[in-house]
Structure 1
Amino acid sequence: MSGREQVSGSAGERDCGPSGSPRISQFTHGGGSSHRLTYGELDAWSDAVAAYLVDAAPVGKPVVIYGHKSPLMLVCFIAAAKAGLTYAPVDIAYPADRVNDILAQIGHPLVISLADGDFAGDESLASSVMGAAAVRAAIAAGRSVGRECWIDGDTPFYLLFTSGSTGRPKGVQMPSRCVDAFMDYFTGLFPVREDGVSFNRVPYTFDVSLFDIIAGLARGYTLFALESEDEQSMRATFDALAASGLTTWISTPSFIEMCLADPAFNEELLPRLDNVILCGEVFRNATALKLIERFPSARILNTYGPTETQAVTDIVVDEALATEVNPLPVGYLGGAMAAIVRDPETGETLPCGEVGEIYLAGDTVSAGYWARPDLTEAVFSEIEGEDGAPVRCYKTGDKGYLDGEGRLFCLGRLDFQVKLNGFRVELADVEQALVRVPAVGEAVVLAAERDGKVSHLVAHVRLADPAVPGDFATSRAIKAALKELVPEYMVPKKIVYHDEFALNVNGKIDRKALA
């Protein structure tokens, strides 16, 4: 599929904007192709596809929806919910083995393939594969379902397969009631406006995409998405953004850092941008200050939340916070959520200011992993809430602390700890120290192994000034500055320079590619 895609309309006026004219999305590509979908069409088309799914989909099994950023994917997501079924998005970027693993774990689901090319999976692992033509035929039939069929309560609204660092997909089930709770909280981060446009960049297989699918659609925003050809170069990306009318930006910090590397990424490019929401990775102080300088009129929000809970914190990052507090907090707990910090070894709850493992409890905690009771029992539990009722809790594997103001700080993953020459080293600590060196713009630290043991650390660095050579003299200067910040055993033996870091499909720095 070519072109850029949007869904648009007003929450109160599904078919018409404030002037009464149709509110439509329009993506015009260089060749003139476009993809448009109004809120009225989204409602009617999803009704019709829901009626088809009630008849065709295996009862009680998620519907796999395969594609990338097609407006029909949104139609099918909502259709599944209207049919009382869970949807499981699978992106065309996934290799065939991963697609087949997902199909095997679900067990012969109905697959809706909305890709331009062939379905990458083994069709024998599906109950059937429904193409885009069949979806359009169902829409043309114009049938509908009653509200009694709609999904609710403990039935999973969606199933996101995530592998984290393990490589094998595990399906995170998010019950409908959790989605309702997340919507109640997160819509508050979208300003109320009739002409809102949200950047729907993140693939539907990454939980950050739910920010605008749930909160954005609930607010009546236009969802503006880039197709893959627009992301082949920054020039094409910027051309698309300049024509988007964007008001709310949603991405990982890595993607916005990539954009900020070009001086053209500023308020002139996006004059209507007044809301920036970042999630999924560490948001660095230097990035925040540069963003504030480029977009002085925008509100910048740092947020945090694993796939297993959705986003649970937010905080406005202004110049004072970015200057005075390093690292940046990920925010205050939102909605009916709580954070508990525990000692990783004893499980003891730690007081404010002490670093430990973050546990999250409350209304948006997942039901667990699809068909994996072993993994579910390892990280999900119930704790007693303030009113004495049981509350679902998730053991995140993230390291952090709460301060006296109730702000949560996330300091990276506990599993990024390595043992080097008898010393325990947190790779995130080395990364944080490196970016405090003025010459360093961005850094990723990895452990190199020899004979099954960590032999040394390797720093992958993007320099703050591209004109500075990545040579021996620069490396020596960086290491000398780093020795003023960390013990010598934490100083990487080798520094590798990059013009920019490759991002994975979710918009995060691709650590596996660097390794």
Structure 2
Amino acid sequence: MDILDQIENQAVKTPRRICYTHRQELLTFGLLKKCSDALACWLINRFGDDHSPVIVHGHMQPMMLVLFLACAKSGHAYIPADQSIPSERIRMITEGAKTKLIFSAAPKQLPETNATEVIAFGQLDQIIIQNEGVPARSYEVKNEDTFYIIYTSGSTGRPKGVQISRRALTSFTEWMQHDFGLEEGLTFMNQAPYSFDLSVMDLYPSLTTGGTLWAVDKQMIANPKELFTLLAQSEINIWTSTPSFAEMCLMEPSFSRTMLPHVQKFLFCGETLPLSVASRLKQRFPEAEIINTYGPTETTVAVTKVSITQKMINCKSPFPVGRCKPDCRIYILGEDGVPKKDGQKGEIVICGPSVGSGYLNDPEKTRASFDTLNEMLAYHTHDLGIMCEGMLYYFGRIDHQIKLHGFRMELEEIEHALSSCRYVKYAIVTPIKRGDRYDHLAAVVVAGKHPFDSDYAFSAVLRKALSSVLPSYMIPRKFIYRRSLPMTANGKIDRGAPLKEVSR
């Protein structure tokens, strides 16, 4: 059985089991099935054979899960959009995806549009009552159809929609079930917003194994006292997060086996796992397994895994990111496209059923990164890596795309937005490291004439302008003002010069 069959089976077998909890809100498997079936029937009646993508706009509401499944059951790919995303970015996503419908928990946050219908979450109860029934299976997204679309940063200033098929999602979920030792009925922590593909690492493995998702919202993260009080009541078995979130939690002395006695595994993805984080987790949770993974959004969350041992920690070397999942292959290619030998650095290319279907409505970018290799779908990651006896090691980006606190972004997109601001002539954005990973962004700006009496006032205006088009995690923390940008001997901007300056 694939993912939809397994979730359906859980609903029939254990309809009263809690599948999702967010604060005081609970959702059972039976209610998940009943409501998603009814909404799927409404979507089928409303759109028929028009399978255009549907945006689901919200945060950690249980209705998000219901709508994801309703879309899949009615043949629509869903696009998760967190409430923290600026309305201008949602407008670009809506236009790029040619979306005709948005389900929203906060309609007032959405951009005005005449081409897209908006259904508020408050309207859904009535729709469910009026459309109770079971949709025909023939309407479901098929194996090669797109199941979900996650928008990532784009170098032209417009986000890219990564299409993940039902086939790819099923491959990922089956791998999680079989190779991560997931038993039935476990409680998974859900820390990542649904617009971030790390959320998929707990969402579908939990639903298909009869588990319970325990949601962490932005308010909890902003209030550590509340977060740790609630975590102590959570009975979490599987912890899924970025290393940055775990590092934040480790600042609390009581964050240990005493607070979370049932934790079996820590699953990390989205950014480099620092030695210090793994070491402290081993000390505080000695019986829990720490699993490091790697994979871009375009290849369905993750394609490698490795269990971090005390021996690895004692070596004090960067951790490997793991061995490839059985149904995929990883090649390390040189600039000439020729495979590198073991131990030689090159571009990481991922092949197999986990590879997505390209970028929505963007054939040019799709051709630039997706092709076939050895008769398998292939994605060229632009990541540098080394393969040693089947174990992959990651060495950062080839281009200007980075991961900061688990969020992937194109520096060029931020530069494009910054250069579009009033009074800015040119700008470059530089990631600043703390230890072995990126800590924050700094912008070097060449300004035109402006009315501000201080750099501080100008920076405040730029931050406000950027916040209307970029998520908060893409806004530089530091702004440096210069009369010109440094150039290399061949006439290109010298990105290394500002990096040395702001790192001092």
What's the TM-score, normalizing by structure 1? 0.77
Map of 1:356-375 to 2, 5 A cutoff? 356-375=346-365
The structure 2 residue matched to 1:410, chosen from 385, 388, 394, is 394
Contact 1:190 1:248 in 2 (8 A): no
- For residues 61 and 320 of structure 1, what CA distance do their matches in structure 2 show? 50
- Deviation (angstroms), 1:193: 3.5
- Deviation (angstroms), 1:122: 2.1
Q: Deviations over 1:329-369 (max 9, x none)?
A: 000001311111112x3222111111111111111101100
Contact 2:72 2:78 in 1 (8 A): yes
Contact 2:345 2:384 in 1 (8 A): yes
Per the alignment, residue 475 of structure 1 pairs with none
Change in 2 beyond 3 A, CA 1:95/1:442: closer
1:122 aligns with 2:112: yes
Per the alignment, residue 449 of structure 2 pairs with none
- For residues 101 and 391 of structure 1, what CA distance do their matches in structure 2 show? 32
* 1:348 match: secondary structure: coil
Amino acid aligned to 1:82: K
- Deviation (angstroms), 1:134: 2.6
* 2:313 match: secondary structure: helix
Higher relative contact order (CA 8 A, sep 6+): 2
Contact 2:22 2:62 in 1 (8 A): no
- For residues 324 and 146 of structure 1, what CA distance do their matches in structure 2 show? 56
Amino acid aligned to 2:11: R
- For residues 10 and 170 of structure 1, what CA distance do their matches in structure 2 show? 29
Change in 2 beyond 3 A, CA 1:457/1:57: farther
1:140 aligns with 2:134: no
Amino acid aligned to 2:231: L
Map of 1:276-291 to 2, 5 A cutoff? 276-291=266-281
Map of 1:426-441 to 2, 5 A cutoff? 431=433, 435=435
Amino acid aligned to 1:130: I
Change in 2 beyond 3 A, CA 1:443/1:24: closer
- Deviation (angstroms), 1:111: 1.0
Change in 2 beyond 3 A, CA 1:444/1:401: farther
Change in 2 beyond 3 A, CA 1:321/1:146: same
- Deviation (angstroms), 1:144: 2.0
Per the alignment, residue 367 of structure 2 pairs with 377
- For residues 458 and 252 of structure 1, what CA distance do their matches in structure 2 show? 28
Structure 1, unmatched stretches of 5+, are 1-8, 385-389, 419-426, 460-491, 497-515
Per the alignment, residue 59 of structure 2 pairs with 68
Change in 2 beyond 3 A, CA 1:263/1:313: same
Per the alignment, residue 182 of structure 1 pairs with 172
Per the alignment, residue 408 of structure 2 pairs with none
Amino acid aligned to 2:485: G
- Deviation (angstroms), 1:324: 1.9
Q: Which has the higher helix share?
A: 2
Per the alignment, residue 315 of structure 1 pairs with 306
Amino acid aligned to 1:140: I
- For residues 401 and 147 of structure 2, what CA distance do their matches in structure 1 show? 35
Change in 2 beyond 3 A, CA 1:57/1:12: closer
1:394 aligns with 2:385: no
* 2:25 match: secondary structure: coil
Q: Deviations over 1:178-208 (max 9, x none)?
A: 1111121122355443441101111111111
1:340 aligns with 2:331: yes
- For residues 123 and 56 of structure 2, what CA distance do their matches in structure 1 show? 13
Contact 1:163 1:169 in 2 (8 A): yes
Q: What is the alpha-carbon root mean square deviation over aligned residues?
A: 2.8
Contact 1:187 1:216 in 2 (8 A): no
Change in 2 beyond 3 A, CA 1:359/1:455: closer
Q: Deviations over 1:261-294 (max 9, x none)?
A: 2222111111111111000001111211111111
Q: Deviations over 1:213-257 (max 9, x none)?
A: 221211111001023322222111111111111110001111111
Contact 2:37 2:70 in 1 (8 A): yes
What's the TM-score, normalizing by structure 2? 0.78
Per the alignment, residue 226 of structure 2 pairs with 236
Contact 1:10 1:194 in 2 (8 A): no
Change in 2 beyond 3 A, CA 1:159/1:455: closer
- For residues 27 and 150 of structure 1, what CA distance do their matches in structure 2 show? 26
Contact 2:55 2:103 in 1 (8 A): yes
Change in 2 beyond 3 A, CA 1:219/1:458: farther
Per the alignment, residue 14 of structure 1 pairs with 11
Change in 2 beyond 3 A, CA 1:23/1:139: same
Q: Deviations over 1:301-330 (max 9, x none)?
A: 000110000210000001111222621000
1:267 aligns with 2:300: no
- For residues 284 and 27 of structure 1, what CA distance do their matches in structure 2 show? 30
Amino acid aligned to 1:74: L
Contact 1:15 1:23 in 2 (8 A): no
Contact 1:46 1:76 in 2 (8 A): yes
1:104 aligns with 2:106: no
- For residues 397 and 26 of structure 1, what CA distance do their matches in structure 2 show? 36
